[in-house]
Amino acid sequence: MSSPTPSVRPPSRSLPPPAPAVPRAPASLRAYSGDTEDDAPTHLYAPASVPPPRTQPRTERPFSPAFQPTPAFSDAGRGTGAGKFLAAGVALAVVGFAIWYVFFGRTGALTVTVAGSGGQPVENIQILVDGAQVCDKSPCQMPGLSSGVHLLRVSAKGYQETADQAVSIGAGEQATSNITLSPAGMGTGVRVSALGSGLKLYVDGQEVGELPETVKNLTPGDHDIRVAGSDRYETYEEHLKLDDGEMRSIGPLKLRVLKGLATFKAGPGADGAHVLLDGRLVPELPATIEVPAGKQLTLLASKTGYETYRRMVNFDDGVAEKTFEITMVESTTETDTAAPPAEERPHSSASTKPTKSAAKTASTQSTTETSAKQGKAVLNMNSIPVSNVILNGRPLGPTPKIGVRVDPGPQTVVFVHPELGRKVMSATVNAGETKTFMARLQ
């Protein structure tokens, strides 16, 4: 018989004291909540010292490809503060771009600089764009011009106003226009002319060219002017001071002739004529003779059946080289025949010549007496510079014309110069009267 199995008692442990009985909820409350007497919660009226029941830990949701995080700008995030802030920033950027495009995207800028000749600064400037003044100084900066073509005009006191210039401005473009103004009139300079040929102008020691000359765009201030030619003329010098925009006219200058050069040639009717220069025979035409300065010589030409040709030869008018054409006119009376000269000698500087005053007096008396007897008048015609003479429609050749006998009555003299034009003079002369026609062509 088997021994009875001893009972094994577990180790004794102290058990916690039983919890106090929880008061049951009133039946009315249990009925209201739907609980029965057996399953009514026992914690509704648990003492405050009883800790709340422990919650189960949250089970982590496993990752699945079908699961996607919610985008920041999805409909789920629209109500958040970050979404509103970003939306507002985008809106401000759009508005700013629109404002820039309206005010700057369709406009350009223009810068205008203004200066005088040589880069000199200009004051009292008026810069006009499309007819409206926009600046009064240089440089002028004009931002915000509409894109397209604009008309630019610049003016200043003492300067020539520019014509309208078309300037094209592109959207967002910075255009530049550099304007150089010219002085009003012809600018600062000199205009020099002189009688005679071969004369040259020098300004501040620099050769400019043969006269007449006009020099423009000189700087205001002091300048030295010199006119010189061959050794036949005395040099002319002048120091002058020019104001801004001043154009000074000098001349026509009459330089003193140091050595004159006279050329004599035969004109109509003068072939075979007997020619004397201050009483000395000129053997053959054409002839070129150097005449000392400051002297006045008498040229006489005689020929049977022709009136005596007489004229004065001098260089007091500042022309060092002259050509004298001898023109003979047929005599209208039998008594108007040239008398043989009292003295005939070849032209030579060493030859003895009659007294000039005596020869001149005798010649004048002879012409006056002859004219008075024949009922004629005497005309003397001369011009500065030398020109061709037309007397009553008849060409007489270059000036001077001395001792030309005409019938009394109205006389018309025309002086013709190839560059300076014509000058007409008229007068009425009586028998035995001597009339002088003197013209200055300019």
> Looking at residue 10, what is its pLDDT?
52
The pTM for the full model equals 0.36
Is the predicted pLDDT of residue 364 greater than 70, yes or no? no
For 361, how many CA atoms within 13 A lie in the half-sphere containing its CB? 5
31 is a domain residue: no
Is the predicted pLDDT of residue 127 greater than 80, yes or no? yes
> Looking at residue 437, what is its pLDDT?
92
CA dist 214 and 220 (Å) reads 16
Copy the structure tokens of residue 15.
């058990």
Is the predicted pLDDT of residue 239 greater than 50, yes or no? yes
Which range, of 20-24, 172-176, 257-261, averages the lowest pLDDT?
Answer: 20-24
CA dist 416 and 423 (Å) reads 7
> Looking at residue 100, what is its pLDDT?
56
* 261 and 367 co-located in one domain: yes
CA dist 102 and 164 (Å) reads 29
Most confident of 29-33, 301-305, 333-337: 301-305
> Looking at residue 352, what is its pLDDT?
37
* 366 and 380 co-located in one domain: no
Residue 100 phi/psi, 5-degree rounding, is: -60, -40
pLDDT band, very low/low/confident/very high, at 16 (cuts 50, 70, 90): low
pLDDT band, very low/low/confident/very high, at 144 (cuts 50, 70, 90): confident
Q: Indicate which CATH number applies to the domain containing 130.
A: 2.60.40.1120
CA dist 343 and 362 (Å) reads 13
78 is a domain residue: no
* 264 and 249 co-located in one domain: no
* 356 and 272 co-located in one domain: yes
Which range, of 320-329, 340-349, 379-388, averages the lowest pLDDT?
Answer: 340-349
CA dist 26 and 10 (Å) reads 41
* 131 and 194 co-located in one domain: no
CA dist 333 and 382 (Å) reads 26
Copy the structure tokens of residue 97.
């771009």
44 is a domain residue: no
> Looking at residue 157, what is its pLDDT?
76
Instruction: Report which of residues 384 and 222 the model is more confident about.
Output: 222
pLDDT band, very low/low/confident/very high, at 376 (cuts 50, 70, 90): confident
- Strand, coil or helix: what is 67? coil
> Looking at residue 284, what is its pLDDT?
84
Core vs surface per residue 344-380: b (16+ CB within 10 A) or e: eeebeeeeebeeeeebeeebeeebbebbeeeebbbbb
358 is a domain residue: yes
Is the predicted pLDDT of residue 418 greater than 70, yes or no? yes
> Looking at residue 350, what is its pLDDT?
35
218 is a domain residue: yes
Sole residue written with tokens 């008026």 = 126
- Beta strands at 434-440 and 377-384: parallel, antiparallel or unpaired: parallel
* 290 and 229 co-located in one domain: no
Most confident of 82-91, 135-144, 164-173: 135-144
- Helix, strand and coil content of the chain, in percent to the nearest 5, comes to 15, 40, 45
* 275 and 233 co-located in one domain: no
- Beta strands at 247-253 and 259-266: parallel, antiparallel or unpaired: unpaired
Is the predicted pLDDT of residue 95 greater than 80, yes or no? no
* 431 and 362 co-located in one domain: no
Is the predicted pLDDT of residue 426 greater than 80, yes or no? yes
Give me the sheet containing 107-115, strands edge to edge: 140-146, 107-115, 174-180
CA dist 440 and 318 (Å) reads 13
Instruction: Report which of residues 235 and 124 the model is more confident about.
Output: 235
129 is a domain residue: yes
pLDDT band, very low/low/confident/very high, at 353 (cuts 50, 70, 90): very low
Give me the sheet containing 247-253, strands edge to edge: 213-215, 189-194, 247-253
Q: What is the mean pLDDT of residues 378-382?
A: 91
> Looking at residue 226, what is its pLDDT?
93
* 358 and 275 co-located in one domain: yes
CA dist 56 and 243 (Å) reads 110
* 342 and 276 co-located in one domain: yes
Chain CA centroid to CA 432, Å: 62
Given a contact cutoff of 8 angstroms between Cβ atoms, the answer to whether 384 and 195 are in contact is yes
Is the predicted pLDDT of residue 103 greater than 70, yes or no? no
- Beta strands at 409-417 and 388-391: parallel, antiparallel or unpaired: antiparallel
Is the predicted pLDDT of residue 73 greater than 80, yes or no? no
Q: Decide which of 371, 388, 421 is a domain's last residue.
A: 371
Copy the structure tokens of residue 162.
């520019």
Instruction: Report which of residues 330 and 46 the model is more confident about.
Output: 330
| Residue ranges with strand state E in 327-386 | 377-384
Question: What residues make up the domain containing 155?
Answer: 105-180
9 is a domain residue: no
> Looking at residue 322, what is its pLDDT?
87
58 is a domain residue: no
CA diameter of the chain: 220
Q: What is the mean pLDDT of residues 72-76?
A: 47
Q: Decide which of 340, 371, 402 is a domain's last residue.
A: 371
Domain tally, the chain: 4
> Looking at residue 347, what is its pLDDT?
44
pLDDT above 70 coverage of the chain, percent: 67
Instruction: Report which of residues 345 and 128 the model is more confident about.
Output: 128
Given a contact cutoff of 8 angstroms between Cβ atoms, the answer to whether 166 and 145 are in contact is no
* 302 and 315 co-located in one domain: yes
Q: What is the mean pLDDT of residues 393-401?
A: 86
Closest CA to 169 of 191, 146, 188: 146
Strand partners, 243: none
> Looking at residue 151, what is its pLDDT?
82
Q: What is the mean pLDDT of the chain?
A: 74
Which range, of 51-55, 214-218, 252-256, 285-289, averages the lowest pLDDT?
Answer: 51-55
Structure letter (DSSP) for residue 346: B
Is the predicted pLDDT of residue 351 greater than 50, yes or no? no
Q: Indicate which CATH number applies to the domain containing 272.
A: 2.60.40
Q: Decide which of 128, 157, 180 is a domain's last residue.
A: 180
Copy the structure tokens of residue 312.
């004065």
* 203 and 225 co-located in one domain: yes
Count of Cβ atoms closer than 10 Å to residue 115 Cβ: 15
